[in-house]
Chains A and B, each alone.
Chain A
């Protein structure tokens, strides 16, 4: 599905990413993790063709993305941004924007088909009831769901998400990730997601890519990547590894400095 080959990239000659090489298989659910400033978002931007890599290539189903048309790429890959920063419009209009890659130049109105697809995406994300509301009127969690609905309206094969759970409470974090998991399972969407929360990444992703200082530090299943040595080395924080009692996936517990000092005494 997605393949990155000896990728290097940077802003103004300062390298941000180096020797990035990994593959994402069809219908996989991959999480990209790493400390702040490690280059996660940059990686996402390279995959979506916003940044041109200074070295290496990105392939989608064997085709270099820089040789694809923008529209073609948009029908294949959809991106869920961190937050909504556009002008105010109704939820339905916003989701319909996701149909733009399918509209012809001289077509001024969406077809019935487009409306149906938008409707379906709204109901898939459980936001059909918000249809008539304005984007500014709905809550942060609802907005994130609507952002996903718009991405789905592009009918992509690959869904990229940039920290979909940032700034959300635990209920919404869970429901958003459950939804993405469901889309992955039921619709066969390939998912690549940047996540900050290691425990959520461990719980939901099949495979993790840990990035540190612009290089891939480790890839593998959550069990392989999330061990305390690796985490302490990359994040430079003392942690304790536990197992989630229900799913038996790795669970990371932070230890505060105060407690650490108490122990030392």
Chain B
């Protein structure tokens, strides 16, 4: 009897609290923007988180009415929950860098149904429901990497490709790369495997490649974190047949190697995590009624970093 009373009392208190407080809502006149990004699980996403926080400080300082809420998530299911939480906090715009396209499409459609302004950065969704896409030029990225590799191999050699996570970003890059290589029939692509854009997997994959192929001329690691892992595997193997590697992304460690004229890393192509900063700025401008971009896509070009211009791309203070 007592037990029942205590439990019922607790239940009644909960219900009363919910009813009483459910109605209360403060309106403090702030414009809230939600930013939902993956947590810093590798160098590039670490760069994204850092740039997002810098942009938050910057924009909030310039306009005190703006409140930017940054929310990180370790996988797609958690990201959906985080976006739901952001919606409850009354955001007027949402900037999303989806972990994966398919699981995030549903919640993004709901965001649009509520009439909020939606910016999708880097990885797309299954359906194009967003107001604005901010992405790097993935096809250009793949093309530039291929052109630089072909140029330095003088049109012939055996190469390996390390792909990223299977998604649209990866497909665009690899397709463009292969299309350029078709123009150089003496360049043979020995194999192409996924390294999941992770340094650890890049190391393991490179070890396997080195076991399988006694002679390799060049390797496209596709990403600077993967490149770091691949270089370590190569150094540990004590082989000397690989002429050079090409990564991608513009991380400061690799840019430094280009700057120092490291023979194994002669060139790099950018894919800046700073694109999240642009996404947030465009969202803030649109929400205030003064959109900065007229079209639905804002593409950040991929630029080639060589020892000559590397000093302009080297930023020691950023984590990426």
- Tell whether A pairs with B: no
B residues with a Cβ closer than 8 A to A are none
Instruction: Report which A residues bind B (CB closer than 8 A).
Output: none
